[in-house]
Structure 1
Amino acid sequence: MSAILPLVRPDLRDFAGYKSARSESLRGDVWLNANESAWSNPADGEGRSRRYPDPQPPALRARLAELYGVAPAALLVGRGSDEAIDLLVRALCVAGQDAIVVTPPVFGMYAVCARLQGAPLVEVPLVDGVDGFSADLEAIREAALSQRAKLVFLCSPSNPAGSAIPLAGIAALAGALEGKAVVVVDEAYGEFADGPSATTLLAAHPNIAVLRTLSKAHALAAARIGVVIGNEDLITILQRCQAPYPVPTPCADLALAGLSDAGLAQTRERIALVRRERDRLLDALAQSPGVLRVYPSQGNYLLVRFDDAEGAFRALLAAGVVVRDQRAAPQLGDALRITVGSPHQNDRVIAALNAREQAA
């Protein structure tokens, strides 16, 4: 039996899922099997959008697999990494029985998907130390085992904390939870980090899954393209649970264009610029009056504590700058998250905060 199958909900282990018209391996030149229009919409010049898309567009799946260094069969393309989170929780967690472990303050979709599935939520808070926030992997292991968790979500780099988790720690946790839980490493901001991807651990640890997205570093947020990478048996199960036609043809075309050699070269240049600007913005904010602490970050954002977070938030808004208010999150009652923008945008952030202090 597969190492992953025992972790799947018992009622879904033999689940075949919905078989769409495009999932059948049929050939012909007159397609009358999906109740599609025989005519194109006038807005669709090439007429490609009148047909349902392939559930997993082969060219896009192959290009993403090449980008992430995995086999196409180990990767499922979906509606951003948000869909992957939801699929994992629904496929593995029996409602009211199988828990998920999260590490607040962290991305809220893990808890949302748990709530929708009726999966108990186990929180193991990040530890706020001298070097920034860090995941307590030993406490996570103990919580996962004692609370019968099926999924452990590790956001690395963490949103909003900005900290990354060493691969050795992820591997050790996966080893301790083998046969009991899947360790999901959310690398939405992985392109901005210093270390290698957790995909390098997949061969040795079948109970690791990795989430990636084109929304951040690749600047394709509106295309809604994300992937889950993992054990091929897990990917098969998740695809069976996925709603039909997850990747619209225009989105797949846009993603492929963005992942061309020229597109990737530009992406690498942008990533390098963001990393330089991240350092510059951190230094400038650390010297700004009213800033209590700026956390080091491996993402494209900075978590900042203020002596008057409300005043800072309002001052930025008055200057036309919108940042993320984190004050409702655990441990972050005085914090804002500021995305690293263009050099000009970052200058506006610095000027607005310095002007606030000078006015005071």
Structure 2
Amino acid sequence: MNVLDLVRPDLRDFAGYRSARSDTLQGTVWLNANESPWPNPADADALLRRYPDPQPARLRETLADLYGCQPSQLLAGRGSDEGIDLLLRALCRPGLDTVIITTPTFGMYAVCARLHGTRVIDVPLREDDGGFSCDFDAVADAAERADARIVFLCSPGNPGGNLLPLEAIASLARRLAGRAAVVVDEAYIEFADAPSATTLLASLPNIAVLRTLSKAHALAAARIGAVIADAKLIAVLRRCQAPYPLPAPCVEAAMEALAPPARARTKDRIARTIGERSRLQDALTKLPTVKRVLPSHANFVLIRCVDAESAFAALLAAGIVVRDLRAQPGLGDALRISIGTPEQNDRVLAALTALSARCGAAA
């Protein structure tokens, strides 16, 4: 299949905007972008007076090495959110096309689709003793019936923490070849010790993968993410992207964070997070105020509570802010707890243990 067949017909020949930094030119006096010839007094390194490179080669090469792809298969952008938005822009005609989501899942898929005028069909995840799982046959059926252009999958899932089988993702992409793109959001894959869906790209060009430096690499404020896909689709997304998506200070921070010494520290912290996740899960399962701790392959745990309001209030009273999910369908008793430092996790357990003692005394 030609992945360009999935692109909106009106955008297949779209050239996009060519900024002053789009052309590779050499010179010593730069007067082509209407920039200030003098740095701002607050810009000690004179880094900010020039527009940044839209797609810095060294950043793309470093991210490609990190994610096991070619630089031509990678578009760097503002976190995973921009990748979601760009894919919707490039593949979905406003008011005409449809995307598939599987709730509970990351809310930005539906938000971006709605802002883009794209219909959303939900094929909810199933919950059983093993946690949340995806009914891939139902997803494929829904995509075919609706002639969907994108299927959004989150693996590991947010907020469920569930890991989707790679072979099932591949089967779905094969079934939808030439009809829809299967977008796999791997924001938390570093915590799963599992292969990436990027390993499927060579044979399945309708797969796109979202990655981010916000989680495992601790760069949430820098807003550096990537879309990894067939090189022809990446070229289309680039033409749909804003002229200067990557602030130079954020690129510098990313390069420093991806240097070998920093990557070694990140690897160690991922291992510590996984260890703390297991410890927190084990302890939470023993508390009478917690009905269920769902399995997780991410840097958080989802718990179902006997009284989620009391649990949320008890944690907040102890100065601990967790994610209240009770407004989401099927999660009326659920809280999501990010894995913190050992000391922070101890505070979570102490607050919920104290709540259990109070509830036991009241009974």
When the two structures are superposed, what TM-score results if normalisation uses the length of structure 2?
0.98
Partner in structure 2 of residue 290 of structure 1: 289
CA distance in 2, matches of 1:128, 1:263: 38
SS at match of 1:216: coil
| Deviation per residue, 1:129-162 (Å, 9 max, x gap) | 1100001100000000101100000000000000
What's the CA shift for 1:194?
A: 2.5
SS at match of 1:24: coil
Partner in structure 2 of residue 29 of structure 1: 28
What's the CA shift for 1:359?
A: 2.2
CA distance in 2, matches of 1:60, 1:41: 26
Structure 1, unmatched stretches of 5+, are: none
Q: How does 1:41-190 map to 2 (within 5 A)?
A: 41-190=40-189
What's the CA shift for 1:49?
A: 1.1
CA distance in 2, matches of 1:230, 1:274: 29
| Deviation per residue, 1:195-241 (Å, 9 max, x gap) | 10000000010000000000000000000000000000100000000
| Deviation per residue, 1:106-131 (Å, 9 max, x gap) | 10000001101111101000001110
Flag as ranges the 4+ runs of structure 1 deviating above 2 A: none
Q: How does 1:169-248 map to 2 (within 5 A)?
A: 169-248=168-247
SS at match of 1:338: strand
SS at match of 1:86: helix
CA distance in 1, matches of 2:20, 2:196: 36
Equivalent residue letter for 1:142: D
User: Quick check: 2:311–2:355 contact (8 Å CA) kept in 1?
Assistant: yes
SS at match of 2:69: coil
Partner in structure 2 of residue 263 of structure 1: 262
Partner in structure 1 of residue 335 of structure 2: 336
CA distance in 2, matches of 1:132, 1:204: 30
Structure 2, unmatched stretches of 5+, are: none
CA distance in 2, matches of 1:144, 1:129: 24
Equivalent residue letter for 1:86: D
SS at match of 2:349: helix
User: Quick check: 2:289–2:355 contact (8 Å CA) kept in 1?
Assistant: no
CA distance in 2, matches of 1:326, 1:130: 20
Partner in structure 1 of residue 301 of structure 2: 302
What's the CA shift for 1:4?
A: 1.1
Moved more, 40-49 or 197-206: 40-49
Equivalent residue letter for 2:199: T
Partner in structure 1 of residue 12 of structure 2: 13
Q: Across the two proteins, how many residue pairs are aligned to each other?
A: 359
Note the aligned Cα RMSD (angstroms).
Answer: 0.7
CA distance in 2, matches of 1:300, 1:25: 41
Equivalent residue letter for 1:274: T
Equivalent residue letter for 2:356: E
